[in-house]
Amino acid sequence: EIVLTQSPGTLSLSPGERATLSCRASQSVASNYLAWYQQKPGQAPRLLIYAASTRATGIPDRFSGSGSGTDFTLTISRLEPDDFAVYHCQQYTSSPHTFGQGTKVEIK
Partner 1 sequence: EVQLVESGGGLVQPGRSLRLSCAASGFIFDDYAMHWVRQAPGKGLAWVSSISWDSGIIDYADSVKGRFTISRDNAKNSLYLQMNNLRPEDTALYFCTKTTAYYSGMDVWGQGTTVIVSS
| Residue from 46, 50, 57, 55 nearest 86 by CA | 46
- Kindly provide the b/e burial profile for residues 81-99, where b requires at least 16 CB atoms within 10 angstroms of the residue's own CB: eebbbbbbbbbbbeeeebb
State yes or no: residue 90 binds partner 1 (CB under 8 A): yes
Binding of partner 1 by 14 (CB under 8 A): no
Q: Are the C-beta atoms of 47 and 27 separated by less than 8 Å? A: no
CB of 69 to partner 1, least distance (A): 17
Subset of 39-58 contacting partner 1 (CB under 8 A) = 39, 44-47, 49-51, 56-57
DSSP for residue 27: S
Per CB under 8 A, 22 contacts partner 1: no
Binding of residue 85 to partner 1 (CB under 8 A): no
Q: Is 93 an interacting residue with respect to partner 1 (CB under 8 A)? A: yes
The DSSP bridge partners found for residue 74 are 21, 65
Residues that bind partner 1 (CB under 8 A): 1, 31, 33, 35, 37, 39, 44-47, 49-51, 56-57, 88, 90, 92-93, 95-102
